[in-house]
Structure 1
Amino acid sequence: VLIAWENEALLATNELGKDKFEIVTPSESILAEPTVSVVDKVVEKKGTNAVAEAYLKYLYSPEGQEIAAKNFYRPRDADVAKKYDDAFPKLKLFTIDEVFGGWAKAQKDHFANGGTFDQISKR
């Protein structure tokens, strides 16, 4: 059993063969929302602010979302997502805010010492 990000599982089946793996997709899952940002202190020091801002803007453009989808990432752009609808398993996605009350609350309830994660790990 390998628990992996969806894009990694899809990439593995694409690279190694669909007959080599069985991907089990839950009916519901947490929407992964990794942060992408321009860190002022870093770009100012390196003089790369314009390039960093352009990259960030491009990442969420339709063209950038096409590249993401072709590399097994679910696109956030609605039109691009529609085009790749058959490439991704159907599942209900929810956010940390919707179900767990935000990251601060989720961290406190589930990942702090004695939280849900610790309780499950003891079993």
Structure 2
Amino acid sequence: MEFFAKHGALAPERELGQKFTVNVELALCLRRAGASDALEDTVDYARAWALVRDVVQRGPTRVTIEAVAEDVSRTLLETFADVRACVVSVDKREVAIEGHLGSLGVRVARARDA
């Protein structure tokens, strides 16, 4: 998923914004959905996408992409009861440092509390 948002440690990042790439992996039992081929037996991916968009684009501005990833993972786990765990990667492509970097990112893995 790709979003334009205003997160970052530097003032220009928060003022001008930049592109963020977010990847989400959800862990849940898909046996029922695989057998039934019914949308109601799996995660509503359009809703998941909208939740991620809302966190990244409309949520509070964060200094770190770690905080963005935490916000996304917490929101997904709180919203979808069948999701046992998730992995969220957040990358920003244009890093405001001296030198060349293709992108900079973090990956967090979070599980539902037992």
TM-score past 0.5 threshold:
no
The interval holding the TM-score normalised by the smaller chain is: under 0.3
Instruction: Looking at secondary structure, tell me which structure has more strand per residue.
Output: 2
For normalisation by structure 1, the TM-score amounts to 0.23
Structure ranking higher in helix proportion:
1
Q: Which protein has the larger Cα radius of gyration, Structure 1 or Structure 2?
A: 1
Higher relative contact order (CA 8 A, sep 6+): 2
